[in-house]
Amino acid sequence: MGDTRKRAVVAGASGFIGQRLVRELRDQGYQVACIGRSGPDARWDDDDAVLSLVDGADLMVNLAGKIVNCRYTDANRAEILRSRVGTTRKLHEAVAASERPPRLWLNASTATIYRYALDRPMTETTGEIGSGFSVDIARDWEREFFAGDLPQTRRVALRMAIVLGDGPATAILERLARAGLGGPQFDGRWFPHRRYRGIGAHPSGDRRAPSHRSRGRQRFSWIHIDDVIGAIAFIVAHPEIAGPVNLAAPHASDNRTLMATLRRAVGAPIGLPAFRWMLEPAMWLLRTEPELVLKSRWVQPELLLAAGYTFAWPDLAPAIDDVVPRRRRRQR
């Protein structure tokens, strides 16, 4: 007898979200195949192999894309865009060519698609799209994903907030707290640069680096890795859910509270306030961008809550208390 298990295809499974998802899907009884630069089951440059995996799959999840935990040099900017839009286009072509296309396609996106928000949370129905480099990446990514007519395939764009877990964003925040820079982080003026300028066919923004007087109260939307996996399983089980979906905990925090919570979790006795002129060289040394802690992301998971999803980690402090010790154990 042939294998009667459900089939799932995961693209970009090498990251910490992808690795966890593959384990969970296999535990749920799926036969899982992975697409990546080096496979293992199909490489991006092998169109026939990609099509053979996509055709007949029950579920496809695309998490492919260059990590954004880097400096936004011209080369990195171009690769961040190409690695998202190009891989999504290749999967789109495979779905369109399939005799038995996947019933559900989940594609990664980002909650950074919304504007800088201090006044109100951004939901799927009332959120306002922002401008600049990160927003253009997300907009082009979703435009490619939702392009054309794929009548047999339900499509959901996962607009993920910053994911707390054994990943790069948590590592950077933890390092800042341990280094004594675990106080509130203040935006302000800095030398002009063009790293955050728009990109793609229709670049947005005014080409200047943004600056806001948020006084450390910039909002911090986040989601625990457990709820990323839980929300994916929930979406699979609820065929009425389609389109963009915010993956963010219902209780957003702010920068001051985030850093105070991290200080307590790592046992840092002090946390110096960090102004933009301090953050810029520190983030240069860490080879990442100040946008991680300076952009005010305020995102509400309206659709998930309305559909009845219950978050395992709705509040920041318990989530941090779970993630930080878990990371320590893995590093030993």
pLDDT, tens only, 111-128: 999 999 999 999 999 999
Segment 32-46, tens digit of pLDDT: 999 999 989 999 999
Give me the numbers of helices (H) and strands (E) for the chain, helices first please. 11, 13
Confidence at residue 13, expressed as pLDDT on a 0 to 100 scale: 96
pLDDT digits (tens, 9 = 90+) for 5-40: 899 999 999 999 999 999 999 999 999 999 999 989
3-class state of residue 95 by DSSP: helix
The string over 236-269, giving b where at least 16 C-beta atoms fall within 10 Å of a residue's C-beta and e elsewhere, is beeeebbebbbbbbbebbbbbbbbbbbbbbbebe
Residue type, 195: R
Which has more confidence, 91 or 205? 91
- Give the model's confidence band at 96: pLDDT under 50 very low, under 70 low, under 90 confident, else very high: very high
Per-residue confidence (pLDDT) for residue 2, from 0 to 100? 55
How far is Cα 282 from Cα 288, in angstroms, rounded to an integer? 9
Q: Is the pLDDT of residue 331 over 70?
A: no
Average pLDDT over residues 230-255: 98
- The mean pLDDT of 277-297, rounded to a whole number, is 91
Predicted local distance difference test score (pLDDT) of residue 212: 86
Q: CA 315 to CA 251: how far, in whole Å? A: 6
**20-46: string of b/e by CB count within 10 Å (b at 16+)?**
bbbebbeeeebebbbbbeeeebbebee
Share of the chain above pLDDT 70, in %: 97
**pLDDT for position 1:** 46
Average of per-residue pLDDT across 291-298: 93
d(CA 210, CA 273): 20
Mean pLDDT score, 56-77: 96
What pTM did the predictor assign?
A: 0.94
Structure tokens at 176: 């800042």
pLDDT given at position 208:
79
Whole-angstrom CA distances from 321 to 224, 238, 327 are 11, 31, 10
Q: What is the pLDDT of residue 17?
A: 97
Other C-beta atoms lying within 10 Å of the C-beta of residue 112? 24
pLDDT of 211-221, one tens digit each?
A: 888 889 999 99
Alpha-carbon distance of 11 to 50, in angstroms, equals 10
As a whole number of Å, the CA-based R_g of the chain is 20
Q: What was the pLDDT predicted at 329? A: 61
